Structure 1
Amino acid sequence: MRRNPVVPYAIIAILGVLTVVIISFVGLNQRADIQVAEEGGSEQTEEGSQEGETTGADAEAVYQANCAACHGGDLSGGMGPALTTVGSSYSADEIAEIIQNGIGSMPAQAHVAGEELSALSEWLSEQQ
C-alpha cells in the first residue's frame, strides 16, 4: 500500500504555522521588555543628571538608537557620511537643525527632540 503524499506536506505546514506563532509571542515579550527598559532608563537619566546637564553616555545611547544604522556605530560612516569630524564643520545648533530637518539624502529625524536633541548635537559637535 502507498502512503498518502499529502500528509508530510500537511505536517510541514502545521509546524511552519506553529513556529510563526511561537516567534510572534517571543517578539511581543521582547517588545514589552524593551518598553520597560526605556521607561526605567528615562527615570534613571532624570535622577542621575542635574537640570540642563546631560551625560555623554546619554548622547551616545541616543546616537546608537537613532543614527548608528546609517552613520556607523563608531561614527565611521556607512550608508551615511562619517561623523568623526563633524564638530569641525558644524556648530551644535547647526547639527541640531540638520537632525531636525534633514540635509541632502538624510531624512528629518523629528522624533529626536528636546533633551535628546540637545545632548546629541552637543556630543556630535565635540567630535573633531
Structure 2
Amino acid sequence: MKKVLMGLLFSLSLFLVACGGGDGASDSGSSADQMDPEKLYVGKCSSCHGGNLEGSSAPPLSDIGARLSYEEILDVLENGQGRMPGGMIKGEEAEGVAQWLSEKN
C-alpha cells in the first residue's frame, strides 16, 4: 500500500511540474520565443519527453514524425493521450510544435 501511495504522489508531482500551473505563455515573455517550437518544447515538454526527444517518464519523440502525421500530433497536443494532458500548448503554438515534431524522423 505504501508503494502504491508513493507511486501516486510521484506521478502527481511529475504532472504538476510538467503542467507548471501557468497561463500557457512562455516564461521568457518574448513573442518570438513563444512561437519558437523548439523553445516551446523545451519549456513545456522536455521534462517528460527529454531534452533531446529521447524520452524520460514519457515516450521518446525523436522519430515521432515517422510514426504520426502532423494532424495526429496536433490532436495529441490539443486533447492529450495516456497520462499526457491536453492543452499544455494551444493554438498557433500547438500547430508550430506539431509541425516541428512531424519533421522528426
TM-score (norm 1): 0.57
1:115 is aligned to 92
Structure 1 runs, 4 residues or longer, greater than 2 Å off: none
> Aligned pair 1:92/2:70, yes or no?
yes
Note the alpha carbon deviations across 1:28-64, whole angstroms, 9 max, x for none. xxxxxx96x41xx11xx29xxxxxxx6xxx0000100
Q: Which has the higher contact order (CA 8 A, sep 6+)?
A: 2
- Give the aligned residue type for 1:84: S
- RMSD of aligned Cα (Å): 2.0
How far did 1:105 drift? 2.0
Give unmatched runs, 5+ long, in structure 1: 1-33, 47-53
Note the alpha carbon deviations across 1:2-24, whole angstroms, 9 max, x for none. xxxxxxxxxxxxxxxxxxxxxxx
| Residues 111 and 71 of structure 1, relative CA distance in 2, 3 Å threshold | closer
1:66 is aligned to 44
1:41-52 to structure 2, matched below 5 A, reads: 41-42=30-31, 45=32
How far did 1:123 drift? 0.3
Whole-angstrom distance in 1 between the partners of 2:84 and 2:51: 17
- Give the aligned residue type for 1:126: E
How far did 1:111 drift? 3.8
Give unmatched runs, 5+ long, in structure 2: 1-25
1:24 is aligned to none
Structure number with the higher helix fraction is: 1
2:18 is aligned to none
- Give the aligned residue type for 1:93: E
- Give the aligned residue type for 2:37: A
Counting aligned pairs with the same residue, the percent is 37
Local SS of the residue matching 1:112:
coil
How far did 1:113 drift? 1.1
Whole-angstrom distance in 1 between the partners of 2:71 and 2:57: 24
